[in-house]
Amino acid sequence: YLTTQLLEMKVPMVVVLNRIDLARKHHLEIDVNEFAAHLRLPVVAVDAHHADDLARLRECIGSSLVNLPVSPVRIEYQDELEELLSVIQHDLECDRKQCFTNLRWAAVKMLEKDFFALEHAGFSAEVRDRHRDRIAAVERICAGETDVIIADYRFGFIKGLFEHAVRRRADRKLV
């Protein structure tokens, strides 16, 4: 879940799948290349107890430090949320009293009602107040709170990733 939030924040990263030994113990086969393709980021599977794995991890981080990648992957929400995100982003773009550049992330934070994050990113309470009625209207249409809907879509993204990249070795069915 944290990785989906970092993706939305456009944080440069290398994804580390730690405790890969436990996955093997439970007969899980993790396709690291599929993870990397899905996330469009470098992914390294490691067992922290093995020096070779740690060496691979150091090498991956070292080679990425010069040009640490930012994934272009974007979690798409249902149409009503995407439309509202677009309106909020436009409003934030027009406001521009701050030099914050990831306006989609700020709009998502507004839908999540994460006012602490918005305040620390430099957005005023007036910006939040301008969209309160729009958010409430979308919540009525979607029959749910926007923060819960966003969490559900993030978990759906994770589920899709696991369906493509993780298999049980014994019967080859998706986990």
Decide if pLDDT at 64 tops 80.
Answer: no
Q: Could you identify the residue written with the tokens 């150091």?
A: 58
Q: Mind listing the pLDDT tens digit for each residue in 22-38?
A: 988 999 999 999 999 99
- Would you say how long the chain is, in residues? 175
Per-residue pLDDT band at 83 (split at 50, 70, 90): very high
Provide the whole-model pTM: 0.85
91-98 long-range contacts (CB < 8 A, ≥24 apart) are: 91/127, 91/130, 91/131, 92/123, 92/127, 95/123, 95/127, 97/122, 97/124, 98/122, 98/123
DSSP secondary structure string for all residues of 2-47:
HHHHHHHHT----EEE--HHHHHHTTEEE-HHHHHHHHTS-EEE--
Tell me the per-residue pLDDT of 92-116, one tens digit each, with 9 for 90 and over. Answer: 887 656 666 788 999 999 999 998 8
